[in-house]
Amino acid sequence: MKVSDYIVEYFIKNDIRDVFGYPGGMVTHFMDSLGKRRGEIAAHITYHEQGAAFAACGYAQASGKVGVAFATSGPGATNLLTGICNAYFDSIPTVFITGQVNTNEAKGDLPVRQRGFQETDIVSMASGVTKAAMYIRDAGMVEEALEQAFSIAVSGRKGPVLLDIPMNVFRAEIEPGSTGRNKEQAPNGEKTEAEPVNLCPEEQDGGEHPDAQSGREFTKCLNEALSLAKRPCLLLGNGIKAAGQIEQVRKMILNCRIPVVSSMLAVDMIPEDIGLEGIYYGFIGAYGNRSANFVVAKCDLLICLGSRLDVRQVGGVRERFAPDAEIIRVDIDAGELALRIREDERQFLMPLEQAVPLLGKALPQGNPYEDWLAVCGTIKGKLKYIDEKEPNKVVNAISRLTADDCSIVADVGQNMVWAAQSFHMKHMQRMYMSGGHGAMGYALPAAIGIYYATRRPVVCFCGDGGLQMNIQELQFVSANRLPITVIVLNNQSLGMIRHFQEMYFASKYYYTVSDNGYTVPDFCAVAEAYGIRSERIEGIEQVCKMQFDERDPRLYEVVFDDRTVVSPKLEFGKPNQDQEPLLDRALYEYLMEL
């Protein structure tokens, strides 16, 4: 059996029916093998390798399966790197396959930059942003390498694995199930092994896995902390989604009405329509909801589930985060726990599949925190409309028009914050973003992957800057008539950076606005050129004209003034609850004294 045929067969047997990629010389055998099985597995060919990588990320996020993307050697492989980084930082299980020059063309140890055409050492480049990167030097490594790749991608803290396969290995013959007989002899006479190169630290040491003792300690800690707490709060992170624990967490909170906040990536955890209104106060951090930041500032116990607590979440001075609270953190990655908020915080290294049931048993049932919830409700009521600008109103209105089971994906920039702040989620809806890597251009290709994972309509928020990063994928959306509605929130500027320049550089808007080095096209005209129906929306009054087609793509360009900014925004070094524009000091002091 040809190696490329075996790889495709392996995907099909493991229920991988959608892969994403871009053609190239070193992957032609792989493309041929995919083509021969078109009725059983679909190769979705994007118009840039970065688009394929992001689509694989979106597919994995929405399906829970391993996302797969492929590209040829050299520039094809390097164009995958941004998507690989995205998968690594957001814990997305993915396998990336790159073609490589024939082994007899490889430079090996020769002191040259390159021997074969488009030869590039992608394994070394990807080593810091993958869980494992493997160079498959002979056909005998393939079976074991595939097994390892898929196992590593989904084990522990999930993430990407890279397989770099030379063209002559793709076309080599193997006998499945007879790996030992397939292995070629290495120069020293020993058989080659499928050993991952450049394993990340958590894989090098085999990963730290909790035992029953840690579960008992976690339960004891919870019981002690909850018995003393008068103002507890749960912080929900993206790890809950990665662990498939959304419904379990919702049920737990329904049984114990405890105040809840989230990270930005977990804003879809507690939707409006599941009976938890008055429990969820928004997402925390520099661009977070003021109410969420105040609740954390005033709690006396903060239980953090699967959230990294990076600087965008806790602020520049970590000690100011939840200053009066005992902090209990649960994470699957020991490296994340190494970055402490305070020395006396309690840490538990365990999968959330184990932690969530234990927390559910420890939380008191019913409504034990009625007085504390009343305080949180007062905070939310006083702050509800302070930061509601026109983009927030537009996003809010759009959310009311969307289908109950559609997916939402937001790009990076102001559009992401407006979506996180103001899109009112429904029970079946999910929202996806590029979190840790913060990659502009993520949303459109990710929407493609999300559609193939769910086969349901997708609403795709983009900024005028981010859309131009991967605008070529409109061709894929058009050609395949995908029910993706692209909403361009266009303020004719790189708004996040423009706002930064306003705060810290005396409003010198170099290279970020239309009269100083940055321009935007007529997005409606671009969409029409791609064969996508489009319309320009000017003002909240016109949002009611928008239609979300379940059969065909659409693009809406929503136009704002170029001075439109995101608020609130935290000035570096200040406590989270004291965001810009500053609250009236009397109101601030009143809320802090509640």
What confidence score (pLDDT) does residue 214 get?
81
Location of structure tokens 């109101």: 587
The CATH number that applies at residue 115 is: 3.40.50.970
Domain final residue, candidates 158, 179, 204: 204
DSSP state, 583? P
Residue 594 included in any domain = no
Do residues 94 and 153 lie in contact, with contact meaning Cβ atoms separated by under 8 Å?
Answer: yes
- Domain identity same for 303 and 325: yes
Residue 578 included in any domain = no
Tens of pLDDT, residue by residue, the chain (594 residues): 999 999 999 999 999 999 999 999 999 999 999 999 999 999 999 999 999 999 999 999 999 999 999 999 999 999 999 999 999 999 999 999 999 999 999 999 999 999 999 999 999 999 999 999 999 999 999 999 999 999 999 999 999 999 999 999 999 999 988 654 444 433 333 333 455 555 665 555 544 555 566 889 999 999 999 999 999 999 999 999 999 999 999 999 999 999 999 999 999 999 877 777 789 999 999 999 999 999 999 999 999 999 999 999 999 899 899 999 999 999 999 999 999 999 999 999 999 999 999 999 999 998 899 999 999 999 999 998 888 889 999 999 999 999 999 999 999 999 999 999 999 999 899 999 999 999 999 999 999 999 999 999 999 999 999 999 999 999 999 999 999 999 999 999 999 999 999 989 999 999 999 889 999 999 999 999 999 999 999 989 999 889 887 889 999 999 998 888 899 999 888 999 999 999 999 999 999 999
Residue 407 included in any domain = yes
Amino acid at 41: I
Residue 338 included in any domain = yes
**Burial environment of residue 316 by CB neighbours within 10 A (0 to 12, 13 to 18, 19 or more):** middle
- Domain identity same for 321 and 406: no
- Domain identity same for 442 and 314: no
What confidence score (pLDDT) does residue 182 get?
43
- Domain identity same for 397 and 362: no
- Domain identity same for 253 and 374: yes
- Domain identity same for 41 and 159: yes
Do residues 303 and 275 lie in contact, with contact meaning Cβ atoms separated by under 8 Å?
Answer: no
Domain final residue, candidates 172, 204, 236: 204
Neighbours of 98 (CB within 10 A): 29
- Domain identity same for 327 and 200: no
**Of 523, 408, 419, 538, which is closest to residue 474 (Cα–Cα)?**
523
Q: Within a 13 Å sphere around the CA of 555, how many CA atoms are in the beta-carbon half?
A: 29
What confidence score (pLDDT) does residue 550 get?
80
Do residues 57 and 86 lie in contact, with contact meaning Cβ atoms separated by under 8 Å?
Answer: yes
The whole-angstrom separation of Cα 573 and Cα 479 is: 49
Residue 585 included in any domain = no
Determine phi and psi for 463, rounding to 5 degrees.
-95, 170
Neighbours of 594 (CB within 10 A): 12
- Letter string b/e over residues 510-534, b meaning 16 or more CB atoms within 10 A of that residue's CB: eebbeeeebebeebbebbeebebeb
What confidence score (pLDDT) does residue 367 get?
87
Residue 572 included in any domain = no
Task: Output the CA angle 476-479-480, nearest 5 degrees.
Answer: 85
What confidence score (pLDDT) does residue 532 get?
97
- Domain identity same for 452 and 348: no
Residue 240 included in any domain = yes
The CATH number that applies at residue 265 is: 3.40.50.1220
**Burial environment of residue 580 by CB neighbours within 10 A (0 to 12, 13 to 18, 19 or more):** middle
What confidence score (pLDDT) does residue 189 get?
33
What confidence score (pLDDT) does residue 199 get?
62
Determine phi and psi for 91, rounding to 5 degrees.
55, 50
Residue 586 included in any domain = no
- Domain identity same for 87 and 35: yes
- Domain identity same for 233 and 150: no
Range of the domain at 441: 390-559
The whole-angstrom separation of Cα 393 and Cα 238 is: 26
Task: Output the CA angle 188-193-199, nearest 5 degrees.
Answer: 120
Report the number of distinct structural domains present in the chain.
3
- Domain identity same for 398 and 366: no
Domain final residue, candidates 144, 173, 204: 204
- Domain identity same for 152 and 220: no
What confidence score (pLDDT) does residue 211 get?
59
